[in-house]
Amino acid sequence: MKKLINKPEDVVREALAGMAAVHADLINVDIEQQIIVRRDAPIKNKVGVISGGGSGHEPMHGGYVGYGMLDAACPGAVFTSPVPDQMLAATRAVNGGAGVLHIVKNYTGDVMNFEMAAELAAAEDIEVVSVVTNDDVAVQDSLYTAGRRGVGVTVLLEKIVGALAETGAPLAQVAELARQVNNQGRSMGMALTSCTVPAAGKPTFELGEDEMEIGIGIHGEPGRRRAKLATAAEITETLTNPIVDDLRLKAGEQVLAMVNGMGGTPLIELYIVFNELERILKGKSISITRSLVGNYITSLEMAGCSITLVRLNDEFVKYWDAPVHTPALRWGR
């Protein structure tokens, strides 16, 4: 194992300390409770928006805490759900009196712990609504889920919903928009290599030199199948067609498209995938009118990519284009 770490057990704590030092103008980091909170939280009469999950997927979620996106994030140990106490602390920290939205990726541990945190918050008279993301079309059930996994749509949803929350919209409206974005988004990923969890010290799985995993999960969970390495054009088609089919996208529709790196794939290759994606969708008369290319929801140093498409409407576009200022995503402000 070759990693820029000190001790495996200190990785998350030391990374949080680094984030706090770099982004002190945007976030406050409570290293003991392991929560990242927007610097100006709580904001009176604004719905608080929080999310969380295992570390190792950076910049998700801590990199999205700030104006126009999340009010707080709860990072667990690497690839391990945060605990209810963290989620409750984050919920308290962002409660400005208008309630709190929990955005939860569909992994059994995340769902269970966020449910417990919501119950504890309710006992303190904090209104909480939870929305679960489940956009991965690759597999129905996986190692960590019942049903589809929550992956790339989570990032796009956090941006769109966070912008609505900035307007002072009520909790019910913010939660409903979150459900709509989740319903209109689908993702699928692939891996060229495995990744190594620091505490494990060895790769999560083995892939041959000429192999790739299609439909990989963000923790290295198995996908649809293992296949021989193919060209970028072939891989992009393999990922895109199931998404288009599942969303029932039709000619003339517009999408927000994200080509996401899994952590170890250079940007030059992600641009090649995006070029292929645009070609494929253009051939179906589907327009990409908003896009994002880069590392936004990763799996440590795994090489590979995922594609996420969200069917757009005027409301989604309005809140996607709205200003955002976080450590990892910022424009218009």
**Under CATH, which architecture does the 185-312 domain have?**
2-Layer Sandwich (3.30)
How many CB atoms sit inside 10 A of residue 237's CB? 15
- DSSP track, 173-239: HHHHHHHHHHHTEEEEEEESS--B-TTT-SBSS---TTEEEET--TTS---SEEEE---HHHHHHHH
Q: What is the pLDDT of residue 142?
A: 63
Confidence band for 147, pLDDT divided at 50, 70 and 90: confident
3-state SS, residue 7: coil
Q: Report the pLDDT averaged over residues 91-104.
A: 98
Quick one: which of 249, 261, 102, 107 has its CA closest to 186?
Answer: 249
For residue range 280-331, what is the model confidence (pLDDT) as tens digits?
Answer: 999 999 999 999 999 999 999 999 999 999 999 999 999 999 999 999 999 9
Contact between 35 and 13 under an 8 Å Cβ cutoff? The reply is no
Neighbour order of strands in the sheet with 48-55 = 27-30, 35-38, 72-78, 48-55, 100-105, 128-133
Q: Going by DSSP bridges, is the β-strand pair 225-228/100-105 parallel, antiparallel, or unpaired? A: unpaired
Residue 232: φ, ψ to 5°: -60, -40
Q: Which of 23, 57, 61, 102 is catalytic?
A: 57
Q: Which of 23, 61, 102, 219 is catalytic?
A: 219
HEC string of 151-182?
CCHHHHHHHHHHHHHHCCCCHHHHHHHHHHHH
Known catalytic residue at 102: no
| Average pLDDT value over all residues in the chain | 96
What CATH number has the domain spanning 8-184+320-331? 3.40.50.10440
Return the domain boundaries, the chain.
Answer: 8-184+320-331, 185-312
Instruction: Record the pTM.
Output: 0.96
Q: What is the pLDDT of residue 141?
A: 66
Can you read off the two tokens belonging to residue 26?
A: 């945007």
Known catalytic residue at 57: yes
Q: What is the pLDDT of residue 143?
A: 64
Q: Which amino acid is located at 308 in the chain?
A: T
